[in-house]
Structure 1
Amino acid sequence: MKNSERIQDFLEKENAATPDGHVFEARWFVDDDVTVRARLATDGREHVDGERRWSLAAEAERPWDPAWPSPAALLWPERNDFSWDRDSAAGLRLQDINPLPKDDAVLRRLIKDTARHSWSINVVVHEAMTPDADGRLPLARLLPPALRHRVVEHRATPEQFHAVNWALGDLGTSVPRGGAVILSGTPARIGFDEQAFRVRSVFLDGSEPTELLDKIVQFAALPWPLSDDAAAVLTALRQDWHLLTLEEELTHARALVASYSEALDAMTKSRDLYREATELAHAALAEMAEYRDAASAARGTAQGQDKHPLSKTLQRVTDSLLSRRAPRVDTHLQEARESEERAREASG
């Protein structure tokens, strides 16, 4: 693929998150200059049918155009003998029709699990009558390339109309007779309106169901609050990416140098503050020791003297303050007497 320039570069490594898992990173261009980064991971665990689980996340430098190639089709081989194209919720095919189970309880459980756990766009189509060979062709072949591996098509036979709507009732929706409905998913996409994503009639005669295809494209464009598992896959793509260009490696190195410089500066400041605090603590301890020694000496001499030197000093200070305050007090008293006499004269 690299030699044929389908991808610009790639990297394969072990998946540190799980034993026996692997990660494949690839980078390519769309519209000549828009970079796409994709991360395909296998976790080493197996499904009940013995096949391994995998997840794929891809991100471009600008909003994804549905006309761009599907990353899944680019990284997985298009071979019928290798069934990689299955939705993780119930193992349903992504490029084929999935007939709904005949048992009503199983059907209900499948719809509920799909609505809660699937990352794909789930479309339920009810057949108004048994279709011919042209009507049994999947919708995926008519979708834009980027959506062909993101849609699960569920088919209900004519006699399953009431059973499928009984199951869809748990989700607060229904499928019109001979029509289709797109499930909201969990969590529901922002701006989703159940009525806006229902199609009253889908002709299964080999013609192109334009209305349904348009609604699938519109649904795919709605903002999607990712589930926890899907968010973890996207976070791994953004934060655990190793396939760097020379420019990206240089930017990464500069960021590391800046980070180390900030850390060193913080350590230096922390060291200086610690030294200053230590010096202040030692000074405080020394001063406390002096006070303690002085107090001990004062207690030792207090019994043989009439007055402690400190008491004499305090007495001298008190006398000095009183001598300074006395004239001021006399002056205030004299002013008060004069004011009182003037008040008597004025009243007389």
Structure 2
Amino acid sequence: MAKNSSSSTTVPDTVWLGRGRHLGPEPEQDVRRNLIALASAGVLDDFRDLDPVEAARSTVLYPRDESADPGPAARRLFEARWRVDDDVMVRAQLTTYDPEARRKDSEGVTWVLAAKAERAWAAHWPSPATMFWPDSDRVAWDHDTVPGVRLRTTNHLPKDDDELRRRLRDCARDSWFIHVVVHEAMTPDVRGQQPISAFLPPSLRHRVVEHRGTPEQAQIVDYAMKRELSVRMPRGGAVVLPTAPQGPDYDADRFTVRSVFLDGSEPTELIDRVKEFAVLPRPLPADAERALTRLRQGWHLLTPDEELVHARGMVTKYAEALDAMTNSRDLYREAAEAAQAALAEVTGGDGVPRPAVPGQAKADGSPLSALTKAFGRFRDPHK
């Protein structure tokens, strides 16, 4: 897959995006099992399991351009459709990719998920991630593309200064997730080790990565964050990290929480800041833009009504094209007949040009004028 880069376009408010890595042995099988289970339970309206080459193939009824092709590294493409709030349709595609050649096998299979709703996304809706992946700690689908970082848990920051700065830099530049750094003023007990994602609404739960700094890392974390991201780390507090480059709507003070109690209770202020950050305009990564284009233009899982509308639209399109071809053919035939008549007039019907009659040229123009006009219709059949 291409290295992550951003365009000037922002993520639409109807869209949910995710990109991560599955470190288990059978990622596609994990997806299939989950889709089958949710479809059987009535959670999903329907789903499709597609070969990427077949999914990108263009046919007469379903013409597709190259934007529908997920690329040579794609392993499998899954589509699912479900409803939220009773009548809002959500359509989503998940594509799995082979790791890049320079990566080790242990780094797993990359996945990209794009979901689009019929109206602005609501945080209380189910997470699209768990429509495809099982919501189980035993399935390792939730690793970020940034090494050493995972959803649904707390990620302790590296002890080494260079590694710490690299981690922060990579998360801000390359990750599609929201990153939160929490500093532990003192070592928490079991309850305090619970990730804040447990308190987030469902659709945010799999968009947030939590990093933890130990009590003795207060200064080194503060220095690294100031150096790399121009934000400060309060002792015993938390920061919602900006993206890189930093967006115009990000305010470091606004997204800094001075004190977070890690006692198992809900960190209300921090949760509110995460929710607020989640609705800010975010640059649309180039890979995400391509995934959204495939979702819009390469969608296969149509409802029966959509199939009928599409078929009627294609019939109308081809009928109009045929009508245009027929009209064009008739115009050219008329021009050809006019040319033949003009040629007969010029040659007298025997193929030999007739001599000019004095005074006729002034009255009727050149003997070739009719022929010239006839051939002119070939150049512009609409005249």
Alignment TM class, shorter chain as reference? 0.7 to 0.9
Deviates more, 1:41-50 or 1:265-274: 265-274
1:164 aligns with 2:221: yes
CA distance in 1, matches of 2:171, 2:229: 11
Q: 1-side partners of 2:211 and 2:338: how far apart?
A: 76
Distance 1:226 1:155 in 2: 27
Identity of counterpart residues, as a percentage? 54
Report the count of equivalent residues: 294
Is the counterpart of residue 203 in structure 1 residue 257 in structure 2? Answer: no
CA distance in 2, matches of 1:19, 1:262: 39
Distance 2:292 2:74 in 1: 21
Question: Per-residue CA shift, 1:4-50, capped at 9, x if unaligned?
Answer: 10111111111233356111111111122221111111123365324
Secondary structure class of the residue paired with 1:10: strand
Residue 6 of structure 1 is matched in structure 2 by: 43
In 2, the alpha carbon distance for the partners of 1:157 and 1:198 equals 18
Q: Tell me the residue number matched to 2:378.
A: none
Do 1:18 and 1:44's aligned partners in 2 also have CA atoms closer than 8 Å? Answer: no
1:150 Cα deviation from its structure 2 partner = 0.6
Cα 1:148/1:128, change in 2 over 3 Å: same
Structure 1: stretches of 5+ with no match in the other structure? 287-296, 298-308, 314-348
Offset, 1:272: 6.2
Using the alignment, how far apart are the partners of 2:222 and 2:132 within structure 1?
A: 37
In the alignment, does 2:100 pair up with 1:42? no
1:240 aligns with 2:298: yes
Aligned counterparts of 1:41 and 1:121: Cα–Cα separation in 2: 21
CA deviations over 1:225-279 (Å, ceiling 9, x no partner): 3110111112211211101111000111122123223433444555567678889
Secondary structure in structure 2 of the residue aligned to 1:79 = coil
* More displaced stretch, 191-200 vs 102-111: 191-200
Bigger helix share: 1
- Identify if the C-alpha distance between structure 1 residues 122 and 254 changes in structure 2 by more than 3 Å, giving closer, same or farther: same
Structure 2 match to 1:95: 152
For 1:226, what is the secondary structure of its paired residue?
Answer: strand
- The one-letter amino acid of 2:272's match is D
Corresponding residue number in structure 1 for 2:171: 114
Alpha-carbon distance change, 274 to 96 in structure 1, aligned in 2, over 3 angstroms: farther
What corresponds to 2:316 in structure 1?
258
Equivalent residue number for residue 134 of structure 1: 191
TM-score between both structures, scaled by the size of structure 1? 0.75
Q: Are 1:188 and 1:224, in contact at CA under 8 Å, matched by a contact in 2?
A: no
| Distance 1:230-1:6 versus aligned 2 partners, 3 A rule | same
1:79 to 136, 151, 163: 136
Give me the TM-score of the superposition, normalised by structure 2. Answer: 0.69
RMSD: 2.9
What is the alpha-carbon distance in structure 2 between the residues aligned to residue 173 and residue 223 of structure 1?
Answer: 19
**1:64 equivalenced with 2:121 (yes/no):** yes
Give unpaired runs (5+ residues) of structure 2.
1-37, 54-70, 345-354, 363-383
In structure 2, what residue type is equivalent to 1:110? R
| TM-superposed deviation, 1:114 | 0.8
The equivalent position to 2:207 in structure 1, one of 117, 140, 150, is 150
Contact kept? 1:189, 1:224, Cα under 8 Å? yes
Q: Determine the C-alpha separation between the residues in 2 that align with 1:188 and 1:39.
A: 29
**Could you tell me whether the CA contact under 8 Å between 1:25 and 1:38 is conserved in 2?**
yes
1:226 aligns with 2:280: no
Q: How does 1:268-307 map to 2 (within 5 A)?
A: 268=326
Which whole-Å CA distance do the structure 2 matches of 1:19 and 1:137 have between them? 37
Distance 1:13 1:285, change over 3 A: same
1:122 counterpart letter in structure 2: H
Distance in 2, Cα, partners of 1:252 & 1:39: 20
**Is 1:26–2:80 an aligned residue pair?**
yes
Give me the whole-angstrom Cα distance separating, in 2, the residues matched to 1:11 and 1:238.
16
Distance in 1 of aligned mates of 2:339 and 2:270: 77
Judging changes above 3 Å, is the alpha-carbon distance between structure 1 residues 265 and 194 closer, same or farther for their aligned structure 2 residues?
farther
Alignment of 1:178-217 (within 5 A): 178-186=236-244, 188-189=246-247, 191-217=249-275
